[in-house]
C-alpha cells in the first residue's frame, strides 16, 4: 500500500501514464514514506456519467506520520500532476485502511 487508481474519461497515452505514474510514485515515497515495492498505481479508462472528468482514489495503510498535512501535500501534488499532464482536474478521495482490518498478499 498505497494503491492508487486513476479513472479517466479521456484517453491517456503511455507517455502520460509514465509521467503521471512517476509523479504519483514520488509523492508516495517522499510524502507518504511508502516502501517502493508496496506502491501500486493503476490507470483505468472510464465512462463518467456525472461529476469530474477524472477520479483518483487512494487506499493507504494508516500510519501516525500519514496525517492531515501529509494527505494535503499528497493531494496537492497529485492534483497538480493530473492537471499539468492530463489537463484534467480530478476528484480525489483518500481512504485510510487500519492495519487490524487489512488482509493482503503480494
Q: Higher confidence at residue 53 or residue 106? A: 53
Which has the closest alpha carbon to 5: 13, 68, 17? 17
Q: Are 8 and 43 in contact (CB under 8 A)?
A: yes
pLDDT digits (tens, 9 = 90+) for 51-104: 999 999 999 999 999 999 999 999 999 999 999 999 999 999 999 988 777 676
Compute CA 34 distance to the chain's CA centroid, rounded to the nearest angstrom: 12
Tell me: pLDDT of 48 over 70. yes
Asked: is 3-99 a CATH 3.90.420.10 domain? The reply is: no
Supply the angle between the helices 68-86 and 14-30 in degrees, to the nearest 10.
160
- Please give the pLDDT value at position 99: 73
pTM for the complete prediction? 0.91
pLDDT digits (tens, 9 = 90+) for 11-28: 999 999 999 999 999 999
Which has the closest alpha carbon to 32: 7, 56, 58, 54? 58
Amino acid at each position: 500500500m498505497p494503491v492508487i487508481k486513476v479513472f479517466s474519461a479521456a484517453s491517456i497515452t503511455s507517455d502520460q501514464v509514465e509521467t503521471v505514474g512517476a509523479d504519483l510514485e514520488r509523492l508516495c515515497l517522499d510524502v507518504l514514506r511508502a516502501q517502493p515495492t508496496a506502491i501500486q498505481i493503476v490507470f483505468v479508462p472510464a465512462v463518467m456519467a456525472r461529476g469530474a472528468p477524472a477520479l483518483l482514489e487512494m487506499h493507504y495503510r494508516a500510519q501516525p506520520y500519514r496525517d492531515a498535512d501529509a494527505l494535503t501535500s499528497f493531494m496537492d501534488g497529485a492534483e497538480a500532476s493530473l492537471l499539468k499532464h492530463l489537463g484534467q482536474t480530478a476528484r480525489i478521495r483518500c481512504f485510510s485502511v487500519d492495519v487490524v482490518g487489512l488482509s493482503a498478499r503480494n
